[in-house]
Amino acid sequence: MIADTQNFKPFNPDPIAVLSQSGDWIAPFALTLDDETLKTIYKHMLAARLLDERFIKLQRSGKMSFVAPHSGHEAPQVAAAHAISKGTDWLFPYYRDYAMTLALGQSVLEILAQTTGSRLDTAKARQMPMHPGSKTLNIFTGASAIASHIPPAVGTAISMKIRETGQAVLTSFGDGATSEGDFHAAINYAGAKGAPIVFLCENNRLAISVDFNKQTGSETIAIKAKAYGMPGYLVDGMDVLACYYVLKECVENARAGLGPSLVEAQVMRFGAHSSADDDTVYRSKEELELMRQRDPILRMRRFLEKQGLWSDKAEEKFIKETQLAFQTALDTLAEAEKVPLEWMFDDVYAELLPHLAQQKKEFLG
């Protein structure tokens, strides 16, 4: 369902944008965000980009096993974090969503700790990188089987509706995930129940190497919402403010009892799928160059500069501070004690069962 007061109408043929490439406000409604929030949104995108670059360096120097670069996906991710209510709403992200969890408030130390196997890792050295999870921030621990986090996301949303808690869920996934049975099964169930959930598809048109045209016969992902009985919105995923306004409206509708929505953010993946593949095999440098001209960070920066909210000096200062924060976290982690081996036996069950206690004893000799 949609509300009369909405800025956006579903099943729009062209992607919704509120900023032009040159950074001008082009929406038919007035900007409502204050200067500080606008700057924070930009800083979150920039910090996420720098984090991505740091991840790649860490992976190439053998300090982390796996990276799924999120560069090019920052806009919908940061927008999602700003659209939901921190610590109240729930987030069920996928494995390319560190810009989202960083913007929601996951600390750099906590994010980097998951690469180190140290005692500072909240996942206790059991979860691979790129799979964030936080009970305090209501972030469901990332799932590796594609789309398998979507049915639990819907279940959490249905329980919110039944208990009338006024909360909402946001779950994100790539375009490849929409070919999985779990995506269909879960979104169908959400539609049948009118669950308070926003489905965010970060469509970069590549599932590792497989092109969107081989993934589906459908023109867009957003249009699929029609069949599930909910509104679908197509958004310019390189325009962070467009992503914010659309997602915000969807989250508010979910909370108001108007049911679920599907948002397709058309993004571009600047990096490879992950550290396990070489994207030059399936796309050209020229293609990538064209994509980078549409960088969501550049567009938002142009907008801020035109508003007099940002400058080269501010940029330089923020980059320096962020890099320092990364280095400080990495230094702390370098000194942190490793997780002791016997910790692997904990949390298999809520308490240590006799057979595991025995195996632990034998393990320790």
The residue among 125 and 298 lying less far from other proteins, judged by its C-beta, is 125
The correct pick among 71, 115, 156, 204 for binding other proteins (CB under 8 A) is 156
246-275 burial: b if 16+ Cβ within 10 Å, else e: bbbbbbbbbbeebbbbbbbbbbbbbbbbbb
- 160 near other proteins, rule: CB under 8 A: yes
User: Which residue, 141, 228, 211, is CA-closest to 176?
Assistant: 211
| Residue of the chain from 10, 69, 76, 151 that contacts other proteins (CB under 8 A) | 151
- Candidates 121, 202, 236, 295; binder of other proteins (CB under 8 A) is 121
- List the catalytic residue out of 205, 282, 283, 302: 282
Q: Is 96 a catalytic residue?
A: no
Q: Which of 43, 63, 86, 126 binds other proteins (CB under 8 A)?
A: 126
Under rule CB under 8 A, residue 341 binds other proteins: no
Q: Is 158 helix (H, G, I), strand (E, B) or coil?
A: helix
Of 43 and 119, the one with the shorter C-beta distance to other proteins is: 119
- The 8-class DSSP code of residue 134 comes to B
> Rule CB under 8 A: is residue 162 a binding residue for other proteins?
yes
68 touching other proteins, by CB under 8 A: no
Q: Which is nearer to other proteins, 156 or 261 (CB)?
A: 156
Tell me how far, at minimum, the Cβ of 299 lies from other proteins, in Å: 35
Interaction between residue 350 and other proteins (CB under 8 A): yes
* d(C-alpha 263, C-alpha 268), whole Å: 16
Among 23, 117, 155, 229, binds other proteins (CB under 8 A): 155
Max CA-CA distance within the chain? 71
Distance CA 92, CA 160 (A): 15
Cβ(234)–Cβ(281) below 8 Å: no
119 is catalytic: no
- Is 95 one of the catalytic residues? no
Nearest partner of 203 among 190, 191, 216, 194, judged by Cα? 216
Computed from CA positions of residues 90, 93, 99, 105, in that sequence, does the dihedral angle turn out positive or negative?
positive
Site membership for other proteins, residue 26 (CB under 8 A): no
Q: How far is the CB of 154 from other proteins (least distance, A)?
A: 5
Taking alpha carbons only, the member of 33, 73, 52 closest to residue 322 is: 52
Q: d(Cα 237, Cα 46) in Å, to the nearest integer?
A: 16
Give me the catalytic one of 73, 273, 299, 301.
273
Give the shortest CB-333-to-other proteins separation in angstroms.
16
Q: Measured in Å, how far apart are the chain's first and last C-alpha atoms?
A: 62
Question: Binding segment for other proteins among 1-9, 96-104, 183-191, 304-312 (CB under 8 A)?
Answer: 183-191
For the bound state, the minimum distance from the C-beta of residue 331 to other proteins, rounded and expressed in Å, comes to 22
Q: How many residues bind other proteins (CB under 8 A)?
A: 47
- Interaction with other proteins in 82-101: which residues (CB under 8 A)? 90
Which one-letter amino acid corresponds to residue 134? S
Helix/strand number for the chain, H first, E second: 12, 7
Under the binding rule (CB under 8 A), the answer on residue 323 touching other proteins is no
183 CB-contact burial (10 Å; exposed 0-12 / middle 13-18 / buried 19+)? buried
Instruction: Name, in order, each residue with C-beta under 8 angstroms of 85's C-beta and a sequence gap of 6 or more.
Output: 167, 168
Residue with smaller CB distance to other proteins, 187 or 240: 187
Write the single-letter amino acid at 116: T
Enumerate the active-site residues.
269, 273, 282
- Residues interacting with other proteins, by CB under 8 A? 90, 121-124, 126-127, 131, 133-135, 140-141, 143-145, 148-160, 162-163, 181-182, 185-186, 188-189, 192, 346-350, 353-356
